[in-house]
Amino acid sequence: MARKIGLITSGGDAPGMNAAIRAVTRYGVSLGYEIIGIRRGFRGLLDDDFVTLSLRSVSGIIDDGGTILRTGRCPETKTKTGMNRAVKTIKQLGLEGVIIIGGDGSLAAANAISKHGIKVMAIPASIDNDVCGTDETIGYDTALNTAVEAIDKIRDTATSHDRIFVVEIMGREHGFLTLDVGIAAGCEFVIIPELKYDINKIAGELRKGKERGKTSEIVAFAEGCGSSVDFAKKIEKLTGLEVRVSNLGYIQRGGRPTARTRILASKFGYAAMHLFHNKKYNHFVGITEGKISSAPIGKIINKNKKINDAELKLLRKLSI
């Protein structure tokens, strides 16, 4: 009888999750495992919602955004009853272990499940890139490119009208995506939760920028910093200049994964399966200084990833 492994995509979807599903399935099946896809995140374990993944059922998905397994947030896994139910289902299904693809919340759930004697592997996937222990998460590069492309377009209209734009970017309570978007789109300022800012100073700098002949100025504003609309109103009042707001929202989560995201997802999926097969359980995979890495999941739970200060300085230096 084939050894069975469960595969879950959980939390917010991220482009490239499908490429990871394909990698786990293709490599897993070739090693002799049966891969059981658990649908709609951990909820599938509570609702008995499964599908067997075959070599061919993952054909033609490497370039698709979203996740063929669907996903969701499942607060029940934080309760004793929900967790017990999920563990019971894993045992009833005869799963040898579960591979979880998701962000920090999903990795915390994976860690909690491992405490019940279930063998888990975790693959970081999130557009926020806020998972500790990896330089990059699946989906991040795609979201970054989507946001930069959107700001390039906003720049055209901002320049035509001599306007300031405040562009709101996702990232929950972190500013990794906003900072990189800011550098890549040549934004004048980034507002991120990790950094205190002085609105009077920013307004003053924006005014000075205009005086230096800038035709447009763009502030990349992380969603975790509160209301971008209120921020824009204050800037308009302080500068006396015309300010518009654009919230990029959920377009950042969709779309075809970039080649970089697909390669990362393929490497992560392969590495997770490889580690599992070699009995290195309860680990997450990551990429560190260009190399695929792994470490026990417990090491990254409740840890905060640090913003790169040099990048912040770079943005300000180049936006004069």
Binding site for ligand F6P (CB under 6 A): 12, 73, 103, 126-128, 170-172, 223, 253
Q: In angstroms, what is the minimal distance from the CB of 103 to ligand F6P? A: 5
CB of 49 to ligand F6P, least distance (A): 19
Nearer to ligand F6P, 171 or 269 (CB): 171
Neighbouring C-alpha atoms within 13 Å toward the C-beta of 292: 18
Residue closer to ligand F6P, measured from CB, 72 or 296: 72
Phi and psi angles of residue 105, each rounded to the nearest 5 degrees, phi first: -65, -40
CB of 253 to ligand F6P, least distance (A): 5
The nearest distance, CB 223 to ligand F6P, in angstroms, is 6
Least distance to ligand F6P, CB of residue 171, Å: 5
Q: Which is nearer to ligand F6P, 64 or 223 (CB)?
A: 223
Provide, rounded to whole angstroms, the least separation between the CB of residue 316 and ligand F6P.
24
- Catalytic residue of the set 13, 64, 104, 128: 128
Long-range contacts of 231-234 (CB under 8 A, 24+ apart): 231/166, 231/191, 231/199, 232/166, 234/199, 234/203
Q: Which is nearer to ligand F6P, 239 or 261 (CB)?
A: 261
In the complex with ligand F6P, the residue whose CB is nearer, 65 or 171, is 171
Q: What is the DSSP secondary-structure string of the chain? A: --EEEEEEE-SS--TTHHHHHHHHHHHHHHTTEEEEEETTTTHHHHHT-EEEE-TGGGTT-TT-SS-TT-----GGGGSHHHHHHHHHHHHHTTEEEEEEEE-HHHHHHHHHHHTTT-EEEEEEB-TT---TT-S--BTHHHHHHHHHHHHHHHHHHHHHHT-EEEEEE--TT--HHHHHHHHHTT-SEEE-TTS---HHHHHHHHHHHHHTT-S-EEEEEEGGGS-HHHHHHHHHHHH-S-EEEEE-GGGGG-SPPPHHHHHHHHHHHHHHHHHHHTT--SEEEEEETTEEEEEEGGGTTT-PPPP-HHHHHHHHHHT-
Residue 313, both tokens: 């300085």
Which is closer to ligand F6P, CB of 12 or CB of 44? 12
Question: Would residue 128 show up in a list of annotated catalytic residues for this protein?
Answer: yes
As annotated, the active-site residues are: 128
